[in-house]
Amino acid sequence: RRLEKIYTKEELLNLYLNTVPFSENIFGIKVAAQRFFNVSPNDLTVEQAAVLVGMLKATTRYNPVKYPERATQRRNTVISQMTKYGYLSETERDSIREIPLELSYYKEGHNQGQATYFREHLRQDLEEILEDYPKPDGKPYNLYTDGLKIYTTINARMQQHAEDAVKEHMTKLQQVFYKDWKKGLPWGSTKVVQNAMRQSARYKRLKEMGLSEEDVEKIFNTPKKITVFSWDREEVERQMTPLDSIKYYLTLLNTGLLAVEPQTGLVKAWVGGIDHKYIQYDHVKSRRQVGSTFKPIVFAAALQNGMLPCEYTYNRLVTYTQFNNWQPKNANGEYGG
């Protein structure tokens, strides 16, 4: 009675639906709508909403993934109740009851959803930060169960554009790469492949089991069904040896994309690679030669030190004796102009 004096029925339902469990260790209508139908609560149809509400009687028993027939029967019971209390007409009830149960099951995890690489970077940052901020009882916070709200500067729309851009461009670039290297070995020597094999989780696991190098190599050269990343269908199952799968991944092009607001330094989009499930190395944080990216910084320094914007600078080979005879060269070895 005290609750109903403070809150309206709609507010109480809102509080309830935001916290109630829907099986599979998920809580709240928003997560449930995304998990089973891959939509937000606002976009749920009547029959979809009825499935979720029907689950609350016994979330495991009426789980639509595990027990679709039970879930359909329970959904239809809810639809009948809605008709009984005037929310649906009998015609609508009969029509909806005939709709087959259709799920769009989407289980978001570390490798699904937006900004997977950024989320992993954020997780590592947060665990470090939270070491200095224990709960009132002195226990450490749990990122997943303690209800923390974490706000970031990532812009969801820009992030989606960034991920789409990477996918579109890298798909085309990969085909160009395959065409250029169809008769060669892009990794240069077998030593690169051997090093990659020894760094793999499979190799380390086999060595921990006490297998000899000969036995390990035999396993790596035995064909089996392996699921690998593919731009065509995101992942595909192929018959190949584990060693061939390593060679395959050595031919995949990777990239990193970071969009930062210049005025504030706020990160708006972060794409650390082509697929977090198969390649978890974050190329946004990778250390690389800057190459020609550094030219504008050199030019800006020259302008700040008095060089005129229209001053003619010869393209010539120069040796800097004050820097251990450093001699920067053009890639093609040609000078002049």
* pLDDT tens-digit series, residues 208-231: 999 999 999 999 999 999 989 988
Other beta carbons less than 10 A from residue 265's beta carbon? 8
Q: Between β-strands 267-271 and 234-240, what pairing exists: parallel, antiparallel or unpaired?
A: unpaired
User: What was the pLDDT predicted at 111?
Assistant: 79
**CB under 8 Å to 270, separation ≥6 — which residues?**
115, 117, 118, 121, 154, 159, 162, 257, 258, 259, 284
pLDDT band at 292 (very low <50, low <70, confident <90, very high): confident
Which 3 state secondary structure label does DSSP give 230?
strand
Q: Which residues pair with 21 in a beta bridge?
A: 27
pLDDT band at 113 (very low <50, low <70, confident <90, very high): confident
- What's the Cα-to-Cα distance from 285 to each of 80, 165, 249, 290, rounded to whole Å? 55, 19, 20, 13
User: What was the pLDDT predicted at 143?
Assistant: 85
Integer Cα distance of 227 and 239 in angstroms: 9
Kindly report, residue by residue over 76-101, the tens digit of the pLDDT: 999 999 999 999 999 999 999 999 99
For 263, the token pair is 């005025």
Q: Flag whether pLDDT at 269 surpasses 90.
A: yes
Q: What are phi and psi of 320, to 5 degrees?
A: -100, 100
**Chain length of the chain:** 337
Residues 25-40: b if buried by 16+ CB within 10 A, e if exposed: ebebbebbbbbbbeee
The angle at the Cα of 6, spanning 2 to 12, to the nearest 5 degrees, equals 90
User: What was the pLDDT predicted at 152?
Assistant: 95
pTM for the full model? 0.64
Integer Cα distance of 328 and 291 in angstroms: 12
Kindly report, residue by residue over 160-191, the tens digit of the pLDDT: 999 999 999 999 999 999 998 887 788 878 89
Other beta carbons less than 10 A from residue 208's beta carbon? 8
The beta strands (E) that lie in the chain are given as 224-230, 234-240, 257-260, 267-271
Handedness of CA 152, 157, 163, 166 (dihedral sign): negative
Q: What percent of the chain has pLDDT over 70?
A: 100
User: What was the pLDDT predicted at 232?
Assistant: 78
pLDDT, mean of residues 2-19:
92
Integer Cα distance of 280 and 319 in angstroms: 42
Q: What percent of the chain has pLDDT over 90?
A: 74
Nearest to 166 by CA among 273, 267, 287: 273
Other beta carbons less than 10 A from residue 71's beta carbon? 23
**CB under 8 Å to 146, separation ≥6 — which residues?**
135
Cβ atoms of residues 283 and 254 within 8 Å: yes
Looking at every residue in the chain, the average pLDDT score rounds to 92
User: What was the pLDDT predicted at 126?
Assistant: 94
pLDDT, mean of residues 116-121:
95
Integer Cα distance of 93 and 116 in angstroms: 41
pLDDT band at 205 (very low <50, low <70, confident <90, very high): very high
User: What was the pLDDT predicted at 308?
Assistant: 93
